[in-house]
Amino acid sequence: MSSAQAGEKQTVRLFLQENLDQQGKQQALDPKLTEILAYFERETGLKFEPVILPWKRAQLETLHGDGIIYGFSRSAERLRLYHFSQPVVVERIWGVTYGSPKPVYKSVEDLRGKVVSTGRGFSHGMEFDRASNVIFTVQEDSSSTVARFKKLMAKRSDLMVWPVRGFEHAKDVEAYVNRTVVQDSNDPELAGRHFDVTDRPLFYDTTHFASTKGRYEDVIAKIDKAIARGNKNGSLAVVLRGYH
């Protein structure tokens, strides 16, 4: 972190999750995410230096005090190591399945004995972490979205958990997954395939900015003030609209 000199903004490295295409190449940042980060820069007076990394590496860099992280969810272990901002977004964690008949998963207990696919290095909230490898087995997959869908088709997992921010209803999530993820991938193996989404979210999670404890806590304090102000005047909800 560079010290803010007269007339200069404080620059902070910001670690973000990589998002790989089917060839394993990093995709461009979501324009909506870019808009959200620009909002926080305006509201805090900070200047972010985005660094895109594999998610576990991003967490380690943050833990070592080399910057802050965004899109981070809380777990019991992380709360001991990281200093979290207030929640930026509430995520509904849905289950995605493939094949007939569509299985019925309505609660955590329905997942007992199942293999649940999730992104490598991801947590999906406190309830998810408590149930992981106790009620169900977690299978951590690569950052390639297409590869994860193919593993689901091959029955190497029973379901895939999928966080969605902007949709409240299963039919909208299902349409989004099949349109944006399946059709837009242009992968011939996914052509004509249809994936089902659970009738209700299986978990709820919140995502945050975070730093290692004892570092950048002044930065997180500025972000917290921006979140509180944005929640009060409605500007944060406006910028988050359409953030899926």
* Residues 163 and 66 both lie in one domain: no
* Residues 85 and 99 both lie in one domain: no
Q: For residue 135, what is the DSSP state?
A: T
The whole domain housing 35 covers: 10-89+206-240
Give Cβ neighbours of residue 110 (< 8 Å, ≥ 6 apart).
104
* Residues 16 and 107 both lie in one domain: no
How far the first Cα of the chain sits from its last, in Å, is 30
Segment 175-223, tens digit of pLDDT: 999 988 788 888 888 888 999 999 999 999 999 999 999 999 999 999 9
* Residues 69 and 26 both lie in one domain: yes
Q: What are phi and psi of 135, to 5 degrees?
A: -90, -40
Tell me the pLDDT band of 143, cut-offs 50, 70 and 90: low
The domain that holds 136 is classified in CATH as 3.40.190.10
- pLDDT greater at residue 78 or residue 121: 78
Percent of the chain with pLDDT over 90: 68
What is the total count of domains within the chain? 2
* Residues 117 and 73 both lie in one domain: no
pLDDT at residue number 35: 96
Percent of the chain with pLDDT over 70: 93
Angle at 208 between CA 69 and CA 73, to 5 degrees: 90
pLDDT at residue number 6: 39
pLDDT at residue number 3: 38
Tell me the pLDDT band of 7, cut-offs 50, 70 and 90: low
Does the residue 192 lie in any domain? yes
